[in-house]
Structures are given as structure tokens and as C-alpha cells.
Amino acid sequence: MSWDPETSRTCSALNEYVSDRSNERTGLSKQPRQDADNEPSANPVAYRYRWVILAVFALLNIVVEMHWVALAPVTSEAAAFYRVTPMSIGFLSMLFMLVYIIISMPASYIIDTYGLRPGIGVGAGLIGVFGLLKGLYASNYAMVVLCQIGLAVAQPFILNAYTGLAAKWFPINERATATGLAALSQYLGIVVAMAVTPLVVNACGIPGMFLAYGIAAMAAAVLFFLLFREQPPTPSSLADEKERLLVGAGLRHIFHQRDMLLLFGLFFIGIGIFNALTTWIEQVLAPRGFSEEQAGIAGAAMILGGIIGASILPPLSDRMRRRVPFLLLCTVMSVPGLAGLAFAHSYPVLLCASFLLGFFTMSAGPIGFQYGAELCYPAPESTSQGLLLLAGQVSGAAFIYGMHAFRSEGGSMTPFMVLFIVLTVVNAFLCTRLTESKLLRNRE
């Protein structure tokens, strides 16, 4: 009996159909092969275009963070302009935290199910539309609130994509670096807003500032849709040619990883503390005689430390092919930073402590995100990252409320700061129980 090409193609199609049905039952997603013979690439390629992808993504991140804290440095002037209370202006920033808790997991599901370009594209579209609308209707507080909600919905589609983008476009020895640069763009957006907003408001007023930021948002969205690609022509690593878990199976896999459960604890404490401190830093320092201006500079020193730390430690983690020692280092070195914020009476000491805390706390984030993605492989990266961020947002809301509710009669938040130091020591102990991911150890 002869074996003709048509019979071969029919059997191949039948085998593919059976494989797909089996994957549906086991929760595996089929990854497309890139070469003609369906053979894995022997030498994965790191394409130069990955830096264009990261740059376009970083621009979106910068813009959405600018809109998040746009009014923070001009709260009093904004309250007078809109004829509302300062708390109503602060509410515009709090919306991002509240909306993230609701939208985080749906955003991760969309990114992991439909791909990076459709998932991040949802966020890009929302950023462009609502950013521009906020600029066009900047004189109406109700419209500003509505547009801020739209921008807050967009944020999880950006924040939850760090590790997914790194996994698709970067080899494993560059992924902490890529995640660190993505986080760096987030910090840059905050710094730009803090530094530029007062200047633009003085020159053009609040409506002019929002219009300028709205045009920037639309430009970033247009660049994303013009330049962003879903994936490189061939996978960036051999591991990415293997079958991946679908979102539901991925969640079950994530919660069965012992080290990932410990990492949830690290992020629950670490991000929660950072969010609470950035919210109440002026209230923490005021009882010791520091002015609002000094508190603002201390906050800027913390962000500056984070920018420098995110530029140094994640690349070192990639170079040394270690995650756990860096997480332990960052956690231990956060303790003197917290102690300085809690007890320092000298302004130079306060600035050094703020810088130290930002350097280590904010650089631990991208290393932890990448470590979690490696631990949970082959679960979707955006799902693991979204869960880590969600843990930090929930604890952040609890810590923010607790610091305000349990302050002393004189307004001091020092007792809660002592609690934060104790919790950070607990985090250091948790770090000693972590093990390096198999994906990193095996060097693919």
C-alpha cells in the first residue's frame, strides 16, 4: 500500500486535532511552532526589536502613572479650582488602588488568554481615550472623576503585563532586567508628574496641564498600536516553545507552589507597607517637626532611590542568575530605612533613610515578579504577577486605614512604624525559606 502526501496530511491533521482536544482536557494551551517542520528552534534568537517593544510599553506606563498622581503636588490649588475638599482631590489617586483590586484578575485573564497585544491594547485604548477626554473636560470635576475611573481600569492591563512581555520577547537571562526597566518607567511617571505638574499648572493652569497630559496619553496609545507586536518571529527561549497552562489550570498550579505562597506573604507585607508610607509620609514625619516641603523631598528621595535601585539590582540578578539572595538583601536593608523614617530627627539622616528604603524596596518588586513567573512556569506570567500585586493592594488599603485609625493621641504613627519593622523582619525570615526556581537553575 502506498503512502501518498494527501494521506500524510490527513493523519497529521487528525493527530493535531486529538492533541488539541487532549490539551483542552488537561488545561494546556498549544504554542505555535515557528519553523516548517514543527521542530523547536535549536538556537533561540533575542531580536533587537524587543527594545522597541519595551520602549513603547514603558511610554504607556509613564503616561498612566502621570495621570495617577497628576494633582498630588498641587492638591490645595486643585481643591480651590474645583471648589472641593483636599480629600476629594486625594480620592482621584485612591481610585487607582480601589479599581485595581476589582480589575486586576480580569485584566490578567484577558492578557493570558488573548495575548499581549489585545490585552495591553485594552489598556492603551483606555489611556488614550480617557486621558484626552480628561484634558478636554478638565474644568468639570465630575468628568475628571469619570475619566480617572477609565484610566484606573487601564492601569492593571499595563502593570500586570511586565513578566508576560519579558517572557515573550527576552531570553531568561534578561527578564529581570526587562521587568526592572518596566518598573523603572512606572517610577519615572510618578517623578515626572511630581516635578512637571507644578510648572505646567503655573504656566497654563490645571485645564492646560490636563490637556497636555491628555495629548501625551493619546500619542502613547497611537505609538503602541503602530509599533507593538505580539511576539517575535521565533520564541526567545526553548521553554517558550513548550505547552503552557491555561488560566484556570494555571491558578491551580500557582497555589500548589510552596515558594509562591511564601512570595505572596512577602508582597502582602512589602507592597502594603510601601503603599501606606507613600500615602502618609507627611503624617508620619510631622509629629517630629518636619515640614510638608521636607516630607515631600523625603518622598522624592525614596522614589529616586527606587529608580536607581531598579536600574542596578535586577540586571545584577540576571547576571548572577540568582533571585533569592537579592530578595533577602532588599528585605534586610529595608529595615534601617524604615527605622530612619520612624525615629530620625535629623533631616540628612531622614533623607538617607528614605533613599535607602526606596532603593531596596522598589527594586525588590521587579525581581520578585520575575521570580514568581519562574516559580509558576508553565502558568501564565500575567496571572502570577497580578496575584502578587493584588496581595499588595489589599494589604496597602488595610495598612492605610490602620495607620490613620490607630495613631496616638498626639498624632504619632510611630507604633505602626514599629509594627512595619517587625513585619519586615518576618519577611526576611520568609526569604530564607525560598529556593531558586528550577527554570533559572536549569538554564533552560
Are domains 45-240 and 243-444 of this chain identical in fold? Answer: yes
The architecture CATH gives domain 243-444? Up-down Bundle (1.20)
The span from the CA of 251 to the CA of 380, in Å, is: 9
For the chain, the domains span 45-240, 243-444
Secondary-structure breakdown of the chain: helix, strand, coil percentages, each rounded to the nearest 5: 80, 0, 20
Q: Which residue has the cell 533571585?
A: 323
CATH code of the domain occupying 45-240: 1.20.1250.20
Task: Write phi, then psi, for 244 (nearest 5 degrees).
Answer: -115, 155
CB atoms within 10 A of CB 300: 19
CB 126 within 8 A of CB 151: yes
Check residue 10 and give its pLDDT.
40
Three cell numbers written together for 256: 500548589
Give the other-Cβ count within 10 Å of 340's Cβ.
20
User: At CA 180, angle to CA 177 and CA 186, rounded to 5?
Assistant: 150
| Burial bucket for residue 345 (CB in 10 Å: 0-12, 13-18, 19+) | exposed
Nine cell digits for residue 100: 485595581
| Burial status of residue 306 (CB atoms within 10 A of its CB: 0-12, 13-18, 19 or more) | buried
- Cα torsion 324, 328, 331, 334: sign: negative
pLDDT of 24? 41
Q: What is the pLDDT of residues 362-398, one digit of tens each?
A: 899 889 988 988 888 888 778 888 888 888 888 888 8
Say if residues 379 and 292 touch (Cβ distance below 8 Å). no
Residue 434, classed as helix, strand or coil, is: coil
Question: For 294-327, what is each residue's pLDDT tens digit?
Answer: 877 888 888 889 889 988 999 999 888 899 999 9
- Crossing angle, helix 324-343 and helix 258-285, to 10 degrees? 20
Q: Tell me 31's DSSP state.
A: P
What pLDDT shows up at residue 25?
41
> pLDDT under 70 in the chain at which residues?
1-43, 237-247, 292, 440-444
Q: Are 234 and 34 in contact (CB under 8 A)?
A: yes
Q: Are 402 and 416 in contact (CB under 8 A)?
A: yes
Q: Which of 270, 353, 349, 356 is nearest to 305 (CA)?
A: 356
pLDDT score of 424: 96
* Distance between start and end Cα atoms, the chain: 43
CA pseudo-torsion sign 213, 216, 222, 224: negative
Chain centroid, CA 63 distance in Å: 14
Amino acid at site 217: A
Predicted confidence at residue 3, as pLDDT, reads 43
**Cα dihedral across residues 40, 55, 125, 112: positive or negative:** positive
Q: How far is CA 333 from the centre of its chain?
A: 22
Residues 359 and 308: beta-carbon distance below 8 Å: yes
- The SS3 of residue 442 is coil
d(CA 64, CA 217): 8
Identify the pLDDT of residue 131.
Answer: 96
Cell reading at 154: 487601564
pLDDT attached to residue 227 = 96
Tell me the pTM.
0.75
